[in-house]
A and B are shown apart, each in its own frame.
Chain A
Amino acid sequence: AQTVTQSQPEMSVQEAETVTLSCTYDTSESNYYLFWYKQPPSRQMILVIRQEAYKQQNATENRFSVNFQKAAKSFSLKISDSQLGDTAMYFCAFMKPQFPYGQNFVFGPGTRLSVLP
């Protein structure tokens, strides 16, 4: 079974600075998808970024980018120019693309990020 680990339960960063959230996973699969979800306080969880394991190029989405190291089974999220609205719980998730797909999502325990003014 796949597992996802987020070793940093809580982090903080000053506004406008850069922060990196770590995620490692354990799998024997060669093809899979990785996701970062963001859950702001009292608001719903939204997708931040996703990465296909067969793509070597790291995904980017505006101020959010990932460092995907397949051999090391590492998938960290970098947030540049941090903003107060980035304060949230961040969940790393792994998905094996085997139908039915929804049953094959595995989430990590989350990292609580606080952006300080």
Chain B
Amino acid sequence: ETGVTQTPRHLVMGMTNKKSLKCEQHLGHNAMYWYKQSAKKPLELMFVYNFKEQTENNSVPSRFSPECPNSSHLFLHLHTLQPEDSALYLCASSQDRIGVSSYEQYFGPGTRLTVT
């Protein structure tokens, strides 16, 4: 596997379900991100982890719970979601340290989430 992978690619869940999204990066990066992509809206940064430590939480509702056990893996635990949470959830990673010459983020294919 190369790059950034995400599973599952598609997920349909009821509002009372609990599910988890998984992301894995094979690029040796130290920072990982969760984004929400909704139709006709800019990408929304949800969570940032740098060296496994959460450094940003952009006022995301508590029904979304991230977990970063190490620099290569990132999870997003979902519970009691609402229909408006239906979106494409993208994971990304980057080499985020002082002195790095390249800042770009590398994205996974996303998980298409539908909440019924």
**What is the interface of chain A, defined by CB distance below 8 A to chain B?**
4, 9, 33, 35, 37, 42-47, 50, 91, 95, 97, 99-103, 105-110
A44-B109, A44-B110, A45-B90 known; A101 vs B40 contact (CB < 8 Å): no
Are B104 and A50 in touch, CB under 8 angstroms?
yes
B96 pairs with A100, CB closer than 8 A: yes
Q: Is the CB of B96 within 8 A of A35?
A: no
Query: Given A91-B43, A102-B48, A103-B45: A44 and B96 within 8 A (CB)?
Result: no
Q: Judge whether A44 and B4 touch: CB under 8 Å.
A: yes
Q: Given A45-B107, A47-B104, A97-B103, A102–B50 Cβ distance below 8 Å?
A: yes
Which chain B residues lie closer than 8 Å to A43 at the CB level? 109
A9 touches B56 (CB 8 A): no
Return the 4 tightest CB-CB contacts between A and B, nearest first: A45-B107, A44-B109, A107-B43, A109-B42
Q: How many residues of B contact A (CB 8 A)?
A: 28
- Does B31 belong to the interface (CB within 8 Å)? yes
Q: Could you give, for residues 3-21 of chain B, a 1 whenever the CB lies within 8 Å of some chain A CB and a 0 otherwise?
A: 1100000000000000000
Of A44, A102, A106, A109, the residue contacting B33 (CB under 8 A) is: A102
A95 to B100, CA, bound (A): 14
Partner of A107, one of B40, B42, B94, B109: B42
Roughly how many angstroms separate A44 CA and B50 CA in the complex, as a whole number?
A: 22
Which chain B residue has the least Cβ–Cβ distance from A33? B103
> Which residues from chain A contact B94 at a C-beta distance below 8 Å?
101-102
**B42/A108 in contact, CB under 8 A:** yes
